[in-house]
Amino acid sequence: MTLKLDAKIPAGPLAEKWDKHRFEMKLVNPANKRKFKIIVVGSGLAGASAAATLSELGYNVSCFCFQDSPRRAHSIAAQGGINAAKNYRNDGDSVQRLFYDTIKGGDFRAREANVYRLAQVSVDIIDQCVAQGVPFAREYGGMLANRSFGGAQVSRTFYARGQTGQQLLIGAYQALEKEIARGGVTMFERHEMLELVLVDGKARGIIVRDMLSGEIESHAADAVILATGGYGNVFYLSTNAKGCNVTATFRAYKKGAAFANPSFTQIHPTCIPVAGDYQSKLTLMSESLRNDGRVWVPKRREDVGKQPSQIPEADRDYYLERKYPSFGNLSPRDIASRAAKEACDDGRGVGPGGRGVYLDFADAIKRLGKAAIEERYGNLFEMYQRITDENPYERPMRIYPAVHYTMGGTWVDYNLMSTIPGLHVAGEANFSDHGANRLGASALMQGLADGYFVIPYTIGDYLASTKLETVTTDHPEFQAARTVVEERTQRLLSINGTRTVDSFHRELGLLMWDKCGMARNAAGLREALERIPKLREEFWRDVKVPGSGAELNQSLEKAGRVADFLEFAELMCIDALHREESCGGHFRTEHQTEDGEAKRNDAEFAYVAAWEYAGEGKPPILNKEPLVFENVHLSTRSYK
Amino acid sequence: MSGAGTAQPMQLTLNVWRQKSPAEPGRMVKYPAKDISPDMSFLEMLDVVNERLIQAGDDPIAFDHDCREGICGSCGLMINGAAHGPMKLTTACQLHMRSFKDGDEITIEPWRAKAFPVIKDLVVDRSAFDRIIQAGGFISVPTGTPQDANALPIPKPDADLAMDNAACIGCGACVAACPNASASLFTAAKISHLGVLPQGQPERSRRALAMVARMDLEEFGGCSLFGECMAVCPKGISIDAIQRMNRDYAFAMATKSDAKEWTGAA
């Protein structure tokens, strides 16, 4: 262990930590704020909310996104909702309960203090979003509506039809555009961060590529925030947008920012199954569907080819209701996903290739009427029909798990600062709040908590208490980082081999899904660790990237991202191999109970694995942050 | 039901707009699209064609896309003269090849509008939309601790109407389909979303004035109520929004003494 991991968790009782910390943090004088420049990379929920809020406070902000508009960041695709401990239903919810559900849902691999703060600020997020004009669903009395989500027995999820992420992002985007108009934020669309710049060990800027002109630009600042999302696209097929990538956080890792729990990836149980080998992405069907849909497969293998309507009730296995009677179809994501895999592995999967289970709304339609179901899920049903050409009102949906979210990410302390001073990381890009499994409707909550209510405080403390020399882009460190980027770009363009970037990405994705996906074991991971370097070597020898660097070149953009995935995949497998336990989304087949449930090993693995880059060709160094549970009792997670 | 994966592959021909850069003239180029599965999405079909182009040493066709589930608004293609192609309420990324038949010739062009200049091939610059939002498409509330969310009851029909309009994905199909290349449906959707909510009232007049002025400044055309925008909108946004925008604008011009300032300020 070479890094000193200090989580900087404030002392005192859990419920008072954040308040106390807010008081103790140093403030930046309002007149001095404009003298500080802050770079925000990414314009999703975390990035847009941070950029807008920091600009409102008076900081001088530059925000970067690779899309053509900040409104298109992938937060926009979140469907189901956002959790908040409002207790509007009077059903027993509280900050403590949301905290506990999230810690337990994460299989006791998250930091107590961070999660408690998340639950505390959750209520402010809803107030803020309503004030911005986010059109959440309402009841006839004019009050906000709620729905239930997996892993909770209270109804605390706020939603805007099946487009909650879109509406929250549009809210943050509008706040951002307001600040752009005011001159507080300079927006750089179609710019991709390709390198982090450190001066005197502190994050002082970034190198980006203007994706239209191809120009490599340097930008200097007093602090850098990465809000660049997750790395689910390492699997090629995932529910992520095509552009989602690991480059920003992986470049930061190579500059010294420890990467935590990279193997903690979430497989979402309700996605539309893979249809063919040309498939470019997988489409999620919101978890909210499990409020009214019942999951089943035929009891007998010989029935899988039959029309679902011809399989009588008695011959159906509603396996979630059978195995987990108290949570049933609302079991957490990791559990529901694994149960689907088991049913299919048992030869009882339905649809092409036998990789699918039914999600059936017949009972709900009978009970509530078609109109009520249409009101709740109309857009999702339409989407399903467009993709599959099947009518889910008449025939059960076919669903199968798919990679959806990554709990792992850059290690950050309580202030959301990485192991590089001045480099803060927010939203899905950090590792902080979801442990080994994220509960539904908690990603939106965390992204906005980080951006609206945490980073704006903690970054002020960093700026007020740190001595920062004036740094411009003429500094040799900027020149050096630029050269690295230019040379890498040139190298990619000059290989001129025989295989396309996508063909490498697909091969890597299949390997990762197979060996480091829903279930993992030592033999498979070792095999992956042998094959990844070979694939990477082949990539750098035989990839074909057409065109030049001085123009819009989508193949070149992809090549850079896949090159990083080819290195990052190895880190994921190393982490998965080292963690000799099953927890949350990390299921090691060697570590399971007799009835196939995950077997955690708290004695040896109740820690965050923060990996430190050790140099080219050297194995990464494992640093451990022990997880101390003072307020919850580590129990075996049971949803039975 | 089609039975995914069982359908016969199709042999298609594409006519695609190729333009190397904003400064160079573009032209239509013909490409074969062989062995296309009806279960592919339209963009997956383009992926397949691009993979073959790269293998053959040609430049792949540039097109914007990201989420591929109809919500980010990145993709936007004129397919056989229709914005997002033949399916109602469907973005190009959600359009599937089963909407076409074996032997079809498909014409693919970028959005055509003065305010959306072509960057490369099928990629256009839609940043004018962001600038329209900057003019007033927001509620000026800083991050802080506003009142409790339920302290402001909103009748369900109002909330639903706001949501209908807030569903806009900013793809630009409305502009591309409009004979005048007007951005009225886009602008009006935002004015309607915020204008029907109580939170949006304080800035309602100013918003309408500034956003409409910005729309004109960006050289989008005027609205003649053809209704082509509504016909192609993948999110089904109603042209009623434009009436609401016109009403807010006229009301503000007639009643606000500082109206000139807001229209000029944009």
What's the gap in Å between the CA of B227 and the closest CA on chain A? Answer: 23
The pLDDT assigned to B2 comes to: 40
B217 touches chain A (CB under 8 A): no
Q: What is the pLDDT of residues A370-391, one digit of tens each?
A: 999 998 888 889 889 989 999 9
CATH code: domain B126-139+156-263 is 1.10.1060
Which one of 3.30.420.40, 1.20.58.100, 3.60.15.10, 1.10.260.40 gives the CATH number of domain A476-603? 1.20.58.100
| A177 contacts B133? CB cut-off 8 A | yes
The pLDDT assigned to B6 comes to: 57
Which residues in chain A touch residue B145, judged by CB atoms under 8 angstroms apart? 124, 127
Q: What is the pLDDT of residues A279-306, one digit of tens each?
A: 999 999 888 899 899 999 999 999 999 9
**Non-local CB neighbours of A271 within 8 Å, separated by 6+ positions:** A239, A282, A283, A284, A285, A399, A400, A401, A402, A404
A49 touches chain B (CB under 8 A): yes
Task: Give the number of beta-carbon pairs within 8 Å between A and B.
Answer: 225
The ranges of chain B annotated as CATH 1.10.1060 are: 126-139+156-263
As to burial, measured by CB atoms within 10 angstroms (0-12 exposed, 13-18 middle, 19+ buried), residue A137 is buried
User: What is the amino acid identity at position A531?
Assistant: R
Please, where are the H alpha helices in A78-163? 95-105, 112-132
| A76 contacts B197? CB cut-off 8 A | no
- Report how far Cα A438 is from the mean position of its chain's Cα atoms: 9
Which residues in chain B touch residue A144, judged by CB atoms under 8 angstroms apart? 149-150
Which residues in chain A touch residue B202, judged by CB atoms under 8 angstroms apart? none
| A453 contacts B4? CB cut-off 8 A | no
Partner residue facing B159 (CB), from A138, A212, A502: A138
Judge whether residue B3 has pLDDT over 60: no
Residue B158: pLDDT band (50, 70, 90) is very high
| A142 contacts B153? CB cut-off 8 A | yes
B152 touches chain A (CB under 8 A): yes
The helix (H) or strand (E) run that includes residue A399 is strand A397-406
Judge whether residue A596 has pLDDT over 60: yes
The pLDDT assigned to A595 comes to: 79
The pLDDT assigned to A196 comes to: 98
Judge whether residue A257 has pLDDT over 60: yes
Residue A188: closest C-alpha in chain B = B127
| A86 contacts B37? CB cut-off 8 A | no
Judge whether residue A639 has pLDDT over 80: no
Instruction: Find residue A224's DSSP bridge partners.
Output: A39, A423
| A72 contacts B143? CB cut-off 8 A | no
B257 touches chain A (CB under 8 A): no
Judge whether residue A583 has pLDDT over 50: yes
Residue A125: closest C-alpha in chain B = B145
User: What is the amino acid identity at position A484?
Assistant: V
| B120 contacts A281? CB cut-off 8 A | no
Judge whether residue A410 has pLDDT over 60: yes
What's the gap in Å between the CA of A188 and the closest CA on chain B? Answer: 11
Q: What is the pLDDT of residues B6-28, one digit of tens each?
A: 579 999 999 999 999 999 999 99
Which residues, numbered 270 to 289 in chain A, qualify as contacts with chain B under a Cβ-Cβ cut-off of 8 Å?
275-276, 278-281, 283-284
Which residues in chain A touch residue B206, judged by CB atoms under 8 angstroms apart? none
Partner residue facing B67 (CB), from A141, A241, A279: A241
Which residues in chain A touch residue B172, judged by CB atoms under 8 angstroms apart? none
- Whether residue B183 contacts residue B174, with contact meaning beta carbons closer than 8 Å, is answered with yes
| A133 contacts B193? CB cut-off 8 A | yes
- Whether residue A39 contacts residue A125, with contact meaning beta carbons closer than 8 Å, is answered with no
The vertex-A124 CA angle with A119 and A126, nearest 5°, equals 100
Helix axes A45-57, A455-465, angle to 10 degrees: 50
**Non-local CB neighbours of A137 within 8 Å, separated by 6+ positions:** A144, A145, A158, A159, A160, A161, B159, B163
| Pick from A522-526, A566-570, B142-146: least confident | B142-146
The pLDDT assigned to A638 comes to: 76
| A166 contacts B170? CB cut-off 8 A | no
Dist CA A413 CA A333 (whole Å): 27
Q: What is the pLDDT of residues B26-60, one digit of tens each?
A: 999 999 999 999 999 999 999 999 999 999 999 99
The pLDDT assigned to A1 comes to: 55
Residue A181: closest C-alpha in chain B = B134
What is the CATH T-level fold of the domain B10-119, as seen in this structure? Ubiquitin-like (UB roll) (3.10.20)
B103 touches chain A (CB under 8 A): no
> What percent of chain A is helix, strand and coil (3-state, nearest 5)?
45, 15, 40
Structure tokens at A553: 């070149």
| A76 contacts B67? CB cut-off 8 A | yes
Residue A265: pLDDT band (50, 70, 90) is very high
Residue A240: closest C-alpha in chain B = B67
Partner residue facing A127 (CB), from B62, B148, B194: B148
User: What is the amino acid identity at position B21?
Assistant: S
Judge whether residue A61 has pLDDT over 70: yes
Which residues, numbered 104 to 133 in chain B, qualify as contacts with chain A under a Cβ-Cβ cut-off of 8 Å?
119-120, 123, 125-127, 129-130, 133
The helix (H) or strand (E) run that includes residue B106 is strand B105-109
Residue A56: pLDDT band (50, 70, 90) is very high
A167 touches chain B (CB under 8 A): yes
- Whether residue B9 contacts residue B104, with contact meaning beta carbons closer than 8 Å, is answered with no
Helix axes A522-542, A501-516, angle to 10 degrees: 170
B82 touches chain A (CB under 8 A): no
**Non-local CB neighbours of A110 within 8 Å, separated by 6+ positions:** A102, A103, A432, A433, A434, A435, A627
The pLDDT assigned to A185 comes to: 98
| A386 contacts B96? CB cut-off 8 A | yes
Q: What is the pLDDT of residues A614-624, one digit of tens each?
A: 999 999 999 99
Which residues, numbered 178 to 207 in chain B, qualify as contacts with chain A under a Cβ-Cβ cut-off of 8 Å?
193-194, 197, 199-200
The helix (H) or strand (E) run that includes residue A266 is strand A265-271
User: At which residue do the structure tokens 């910390």 appear?
Assistant: A21
Which residues, numbered 530 to 559 in chain A, qualify as contacts with chain B under a Cβ-Cβ cut-off of 8 Å?
544, 546-547, 551-552, 554-555
Q: What is the pLDDT of residues A83-140, one digit of tens each?
A: 999 999 999 999 999 999 999 999 999 999 999 999 999 999 999 999 999 999 999 9
The vertex-B265 CA angle with B262 and B266, nearest 5°, equals 95
What's the gap in Å between the CA of B169 and the closest CA on chain A? Answer: 8
Which residues, numbered 39 to 58 in chain B, qualify as contacts with chain A under a Cβ-Cβ cut-off of 8 Å?
39-41, 43-44, 47-48, 51, 54-55, 57-58
Which one of 3.40.50.300, 3.40.640.10, 3.30.450.40, 3.90.700.10 gives the CATH number of domain A268-403? 3.90.700.10
Q: Is A626 helix (H, G, I), strand (E, B) or coil?
A: strand
pTM over 0.95: yes
Phi, psi of A334 (to 5 degrees): -65, -40
Which residues of A form the catalytic set? 333
Dist CA B232 CA B84 (whole Å): 7
- Whether residue A379 contacts residue A387, with contact meaning beta carbons closer than 8 Å, is answered with no
Q: What is the pLDDT of residues A143-157, one digit of tens each?
A: 999 988 878 889 999
Partner residue facing B2 (CB), from A73, A129, A389: A389
ipTM here: 0.97
Residue A553: closest C-alpha in chain B = B62
- Report how far Cα A147 is from the mean position of its chain's Cα atoms: 22
DSSP string, A407-455: --EE---TTSB-SSTTEEE-GGGB--SSTTSPPTT-HHHHHHIIIIIIH
Dist CA A150 CA A164 (whole Å): 16
Judge whether residue A424 has pLDDT over 60: yes
Residue scoring higher pLDDT (B182 or A598)? B182
User: At which residue do the structure tokens 């829903």 appear?
Assistant: A518
Judge whether residue B247 has pLDDT over 90: yes
Which residues in chain B touch residue A78, judged by CB atoms under 8 angstroms apart? none
- Best of B72, B94, B164 to disrupt the A interface (most A CBs within 10 Å) is B72
Q: What is the pLDDT of residues B68-114, one digit of tens each?
A: 999 999 999 999 999 999 999 999 999 999 999 999 999 999 999 99
Dist CA A51 CA A60 (whole Å): 9
Of A232, A296, A233, A274, residue with least CA distance to A400:
A274
The ranges of chain B annotated as CATH 3.10.20.30 are: 10-119
| A133 contacts B69? CB cut-off 8 A | no
The arithmetic mean of pLDDT across residues B242-255, rounded, is 96
Which residues in chain A touch residue B55, judged by CB atoms under 8 angstroms apart? 498, 500, 544
Domain ranges of chain A: 268-403, 476-603
Dist CA A122 CA A134 (whole Å): 15
A305 touches chain B (CB under 8 A): no
